[in-house]
Structure 1
């Protein structure tokens, strides 16, 4: 798995969840009750917004299978940056342990495919 986390600026989890669901619906994705969404036809990219029955903490993860394809990591990054923009938040690379800036995308792709 390759995880990109989105850290929203706003701590209002109800607002963030509504905003994420609206953003995902705008690009043709639907949130299940478990909070997982297949984000591409191959099933190699998922968005996890957590269960609505869970604690009042919102962690948004964009997850990929390590299928070693450049397009998979690009799809995940596109979705992660789109959600971060909608939430005025930041994208955090869980493998590299730090914030990802849009201008560092090529470097992240290279690290993932190494």
Structure 2
């Protein structure tokens, strides 16, 4: 395994931890910024998806489907767990933003793999 692969694996673990932290922390100050929230979900899960595929690649249709379902399921789980955090609530739109981020991140990886490498 190359040093870049090792670094990508460490970054992937850190990304998961950062998503858990921001998903489950109590809100500060009560400021409600919906647009930035959705953009954050979109970017966070897009980067998570891209890096996941940089680490694991497209090995087979089953493998790719598993990763996609895992990432979307992770977003659903984090959103569901928010329902237990004081001051937080579950939002279907956050789940949609997560899933779109996963789709875009996966698309970036596919385009990179198909046309650039």
| TM-score, normalisation: structure 1 | 0.33
Q: Which has the larger radius of gyration?
A: 2
Q: Which has the higher strand share?
A: 1
Question: TM-score, structure 2 length as denominator?
Answer: 0.32
Structure with the bigger percentage of helix? 2
